[in-house]
């Protein structure tokens, strides 16, 4: 109950403060964890959704295998690839799109980065909602399976990386709006 009240307060605050960002680990269990980040972006949901698909423009190059975000792509349709090109002609599938509702939601089956080598499932969801200041974006990432690191130790690391990605999306879209 306390978690639900805190979450509702954070969502209410994020909806009224344009730059609000809330992030955190929402659950850890043996071999599973969930994280969530919430941000308000100063553009309409359709614009935010379109720019989600332009992943090469906002993804942190520090979190690519090639060292360049320009090698990243995301096909915004069910079955679409969240992929990265490598210099030697190789490629990496970071995820597969499993749900698309333009302007509303994007969901991927996506064990990202080092999670890819573990037998885990990672479900990454971007939920978009109209807000007075633009769009409230809630990013949720749920990971479960045979983690090779204790979930309580791994979750904050993943949370930090994914919160950075969401903040980069916000900065990118807000820059377009100026």
- Per-residue HEC secondary structure of 134-172 comes to EEEEEEEEEEEECCCCCHHHHHHHHHHHHHHHHHHHHHH
- pLDDT the model gives residue 21: 78
Tokens of 142: 């749920």
Sign of CA dihedral 87, 61, 130, 122: positive
User: pLDDT > 70: what percent of the chain?
Assistant: 89
Angle at 110 between CA 107 and CA 5, to 5 degrees: 55
Torsion angle (degrees, nearest 10) of CA 21, 160, 93, 174: 30
Which residues span the domain enclosing 64? Answer: 2-177
CATH code for position 167: 3.30.530.20
112-123: per-residue pLDDT in tens? 999 999 999 999
Tokens of 64: 């690519």
**Greater model confidence, 136 or 20:** 136
Task: Tell if the pTM clears 0.85, that is, is over it.
Answer: yes
Structural domain count, the chain: 1
Distance CA 29, CA 150 (A): 9
Phi/psi at 126 (nearest 5 deg)? Answer: -115, 115
31-57: per-residue pLDDT in tens? 999 999 999 999 999 999 999 999 999
């Amino acid at each position: 109950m306390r978690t639900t009240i805190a979450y509702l307060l954070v969502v209410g605050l994020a909806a009224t403060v344009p730059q609000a960002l809330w992030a955190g680990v929402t659950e850890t269990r043996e071999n599973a964890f969930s994280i969530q980040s919430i941000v308000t972006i100063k553009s309409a949901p359709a614009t935010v959704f379109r720019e989600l698909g332009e992943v090469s423009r906002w993804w942190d190059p520090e979190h690519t295998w090639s060292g360049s975000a320009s090698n990243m792509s995301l096909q915004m349709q069910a079955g679409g690839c969240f992929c990265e090109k490598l210099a030697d002609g190789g490629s990496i599938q970071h995820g597969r799109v499993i749900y698309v509702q333009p302007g509303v939601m994007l969901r991927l089956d996506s064990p990202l980065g080092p999670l890819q080598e573990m037998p885990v499932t990672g479900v990454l969801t971007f939920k978009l909602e109209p807000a007075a200041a633009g769009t409230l974006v809630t990013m949720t990432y749920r990971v479960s399976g045979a983690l090779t690191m204790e979930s309580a130790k791994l979750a904050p690391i993943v949370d930090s990386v994914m919160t950075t990605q969401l903040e980069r999306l916000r900065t990118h879209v807000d820059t377009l709006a100026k």
